[in-house]
Amino acid sequence: MKQDKRRNSNTMEKTLDRLSARREAPLAVFIILLVLYLLASGVISAVAGSGVNVMIFGKELPMSTFIGVFSALSEICVIFMTFYCGEKGYFTSLTLLLVQFPFMIVGIVARNNLASLPGVFGNILAIIAITIIYLNNKKMDEYQKTLRDQAVTDALTGLPNSFACSELLNALVDKGERFAFVSIDINGFKAINDTMGFETGNHVLCEIASRWKMIADTGVSGTFDFVTRFSGDEFSLIIRNYNKDEDVLNTIRTYEAVLHDRLTIDGCDFYISASFGYAEFPADGGSADSVVSFAGTAMNVVKESNSSEHIKRFTPDMLKTEGIIEIEKKIRDALDNENIYFNLQPQFDMDHKLRGFETLARMKDADGTVISPGVFIPVAEKVGLIDKVDAMVFRKAAMFFGEAVRKSGANILLSINISVRHLMKNDFLDEIRDVLRSSGVPAERLEIEITESIMIDSMEKALQCIDEIRSMGIKIAIDDFGTGYSSLSYLNNFPANLLKIDKSFIDRMNESKSSKQYVSAIISIGHIMGFDVISEGVEEPEQIETLREIGCDFIQGFIWGRPLTQEAAEKLIFESVEK
Ligand code: C2E
Ligand code: CA
Ligand code: CA
């Protein structure tokens, strides 16, 4: 058990260590530097005062001329050892330098040989230099450790945060190790916050966290557990090192039981309970994302069922959408076989001049049947495959677009749909840079569409990502505008370039005066905020007339262009240049 615990914490340490920028050089480098040092020192003592001469470029020179070179080499070795080999390097270097002093001093005092004097000063300076390097490195390491700890710790409860959790999950999945992921939500927590205030709510969360931390740290559950606070009153638990499914249930019961102990804050007693939903890897889901998503599904079932049973394991029938598992399999196959591709729907200005294209994902199953994005995109979101789908569509569309624009010289944009989950992934920016580089599409020609309704849930993190995207020169469009929470204060803060009015508003626009005024108001507000405005799903000539009248900037819809194949899009690009 103890050994297992060590193994568990090693996995976590390793994953966290990847966050540290400075790493020690391998042992081989240390040994090479040490050997080099010893060789250089050996040559120095052999040559010093030997009187041997060597021929260089026809000139006879005493070997002692080269002492300076070897002594510089030995000093470089100790400096490198200290810099790259951590404590081991520093203390070895220090010992090597210190042991030389007695010999040098004996040389100077007893034999009255002043030739060692420069060596003494050289060694003293080397000791000062390596000590400064060592202390500096130590300070850097401590600073990095603090940064690392902050990055993986939840500030309120001191538990690991969701980042640490996903690092561990990915490490476990990579190793293929069996585990259970438990999604936990505190029941009625909102009521505590609303009636007693945030501060009391925070105390409650901290108390729960400390009880759970105690179980995880002492190992009383009999399994190895990793507790995380995700956000608000959402926690999670990763359970490892169990034999039977029953062990998982027992561990969760241990965590549930401590909630029932009396919890008193400011003289008030709180009766806490929680909903636990779990899924196992690899039995229930084959990836970290799907296990997390399925555990969340099970937890929601517990919450909705209102029964006295507060723990449930995920079962496929919990996924209400019929055929979700089948579609997930089709998406995986399509990703493996590159059967996810794209169509391009043109966007125009009000004079029918081409603005660019929106990239729309398309998927074929093994029989060649096309599956609508309205079906597979929501499933990909749910099972955590959306980033792979987005990435494949983006990569393929950018390769096409880069070449078409180079050949035609057209001044147009490529718009891509990115799910917010994908956007917030740590390596998203690298992915974008990579595709831009390989496709040759300039950042200014790329626009990323983000759906407003999903984003508002994780506003702060999303805004941070979007700022970084904007600083690269990429444009941002707010998709399906009007269908979400759309508030003015939200728009005001939002660093977008384009507002896309949802088709549902355009459909109704000519039905009543107020509907038209509504669209007109959205356009005006968009303009005040400094955005361009495009109307989606335009199908009728009367709609174009109205949109012109109320000052819309761009149009996307079947009336001027359906989603096109690559060939048709290329033809349109060339025609637009010839006009
Ligand atoms: P969306 O981003 O709002 O895309 C516009 C949808 O409206 C497209 O449907 C397009 O074909 C359709 N549309 C455009 N003009 C008209 C029109 O005049 N009349 C009608 N009836 N429909 C019109 P599609 O291709 O089925 O895409 C559905 C949704 O799937 C998209 O809605 C988007 O949310 C999502 N999606 C598509 N491709 C991707 C992708 O690569 N990544 C992500 N994350 N989502 C995608
Ligand atoms: Ca879109
Ligand atoms: Ca849209």
In DSSP notation, 416-465 reads EE--HHHHTSTTHHHHHHHHHHHHT--GGGEEEEEEHHHHGGGHHHHHHH
Considering Cα of 95, then 97, then 100, then 102, what sign does the dihedral take? negative
For ligand 1, whether the C-beta of 561 sits within 6 Å is no
Determine the atom of ligand 1 nearest the C-alpha atom of 372: 26
For ligand 1, whether the C-beta of 420 sits within 6 Å is no
Residue 139 burial class via C-beta count within 10 angstroms: exposed 0-12, middle 13-18, buried 19 and up: exposed
Residues 173 and 243: their CA atoms lie apart, in Å, by: 18
In this structure, what token pair is assigned to residue 314?
């995920």
Contacts of residue 177, defined as CB under 8 A and 6 or more positions apart, other chains included, come to: 240
Question: Which stretches of the chain score pLDDT less than 70?
Answer: 1-23, 48-51, 64, 115, 306, 320-323, 452-459, 483-490
Which residue ranges does the chain devote to CATH 3.30.70.270? 162-318
For ligand 1, whether the C-beta of 386 sits within 6 Å is yes
Provide the residue type at 196 as one letter. Answer: M
For ligand 1, whether the C-beta of 557 sits within 6 Å is yes
Whether 548 and 348 have beta carbons less than 8 Å apart is answered as no
Whether 207 and 229 have beta carbons less than 8 Å apart is answered as no
Start-end of H helices in 346-385 = 373-382
Determine the atom of ligand 1 nearest the C-alpha atom of 500: 3
Nearest by Cα to 466 from 408, 422, 500: 422
Query: Is beta strand 554-556 parallel, antiparallel or unpaired with respect to 340-349?
Result: antiparallel
Distance between Cα 500 and ligand 3 center (Å): 7
Residues 402 and 564: their CA atoms lie apart, in Å, by: 17
Contacts of residue 58, defined as CB under 8 A and 6 or more positions apart, other chains included, come to: none
In this structure, what token pair is assigned to residue 450?
């983000």
For ligand 1, whether the C-beta of 167 sits within 6 Å is no
Whether 493 and 503 have beta carbons less than 8 Å apart is answered as no
Task: Say what the pLDDT of residue 23 is.
Answer: 64
For ligand 1, whether the C-beta of 393 sits within 6 Å is yes
Task: Say what the pLDDT of residue 397 is.
Answer: 98
The CATH code that applies to domain 324-578 is 3.20.20.450
Say whether pTM exceeds 0.75: no
Distance between Cα 358 and ligand 2 center (Å): 7
Task: Say what the pLDDT of residue 2 is.
Answer: 38
Residue with tokens 């007695």: 102
Task: Say what the pLDDT of residue 488 is.
Answer: 59
Pocket of ligand 1, candidates 348, 360, 371: which has the most ligand atoms within 8 Å of its Cβ, to mutate?
A: 360
The CATH code that applies to domain 162-318 is 3.30.70.270
| Ion ligand 2, residues whose Cβ is below 5 A away | 417, 449, 479
Per-residue pLDDT of 491-510, as tens digits, reads 777 889 999 999 989 999 99
Distance between Cα 212 and ligand 1 center (Å): 45
For ligand 1, whether the C-beta of 390 sits within 6 Å is yes
Which residue ranges does the chain devote to CATH 3.20.20.450? 324-578
| Residue ID of nearest Cα to ligand 1 atom 4 | 360
For ligand 1, whether the C-beta of 452 sits within 6 Å is no
Whether 215 and 225 have beta carbons less than 8 Å apart is answered as yes
In this structure, what token pair is assigned to residue 445?
């020609």
Contacts of residue 372, defined as CB under 8 A and 6 or more positions apart, other chains included, come to: none
Determine the atom of ligand 1 nearest the C-alpha atom of 559: 18
In this structure, what token pair is assigned to residue 77?
């070795």
Task: Say what the pLDDT of residue 489 is.
Answer: 62
In this structure, what token pair is assigned to residue 441?
């599409």
For ligand 1, whether the C-beta of 373 sits within 6 Å is yes
CA 446-429-143 angle, 5° bins = 150
Pocket of ligand 1, candidates 359, 417, 478: which has the most ligand atoms within 8 Å of its Cβ, to mutate?
A: 417
Nearest by Cα to 181 from 190, 169, 171, 193: 169
In this structure, what token pair is assigned to residue 506?
């355009």
Which of helix, strand or coil describes residue 271?
coil
